[in-house]
Amino acid sequence: MRDAARLDPGKRLVAVLGDLYPWYGRSAAMLGNVVRDVATLPALRDTLAVQREQVDRTVELLLRGRRLRGERRRRVAAALALALDFRTWEMLTSAGLDDTEAVGVATAMVTGAERC
């Protein structure tokens, strides 16, 4: 990641999603099975708990530099978690968006949450 992306929260989000969404595309079959089967396979619940911790850490990293507090911070954190979620990518791409367009929509959602 370039230095500018590390310093600017918006660029950092685009860089993270720009790496994550293509990976989701390459891993969609497996991830779709995990999402489908999590309710019936306890081992997957443990795996998803670890993944949830990773998302929480990533959200915290993406919040850095945004200078948000209180309710605005909570809303932006929720929007970031949604943007990072496989199911969000899946819905956006199943609506016909490519990864670049999906990154743009997800980024706009986070920006909108920041302005609320």
- CA 27 from chain centre, in angstroms, equals 15
Cα distances (Å, whole numbers) of residue 12 to 44, 65, 112: 30, 10, 16
Which of 50, 105, 106 lies closest to 79, judged by CA? Answer: 106
Cα distances (Å, whole numbers) of residue 19 to 22, 36, 40: 6, 24, 30
CA angle 91/12/22 to nearest 5° reads 40
Which pLDDT belongs to residue 6?
A: 66
pLDDT tens readout for residues 26-77? 999 999 888 888 888 888 888 878 888 999 999 999 999 999 999 999 999 9
pLDDT tens readout for residues 62-116? 999 999 999 999 999 999 999 999 999 999 999 999 999 999 999 999 999 999 8
Which pLDDT belongs to residue 13?
A: 97
The DSSP call for residue 40 is T
Which pLDDT belongs to residue 3?
A: 57
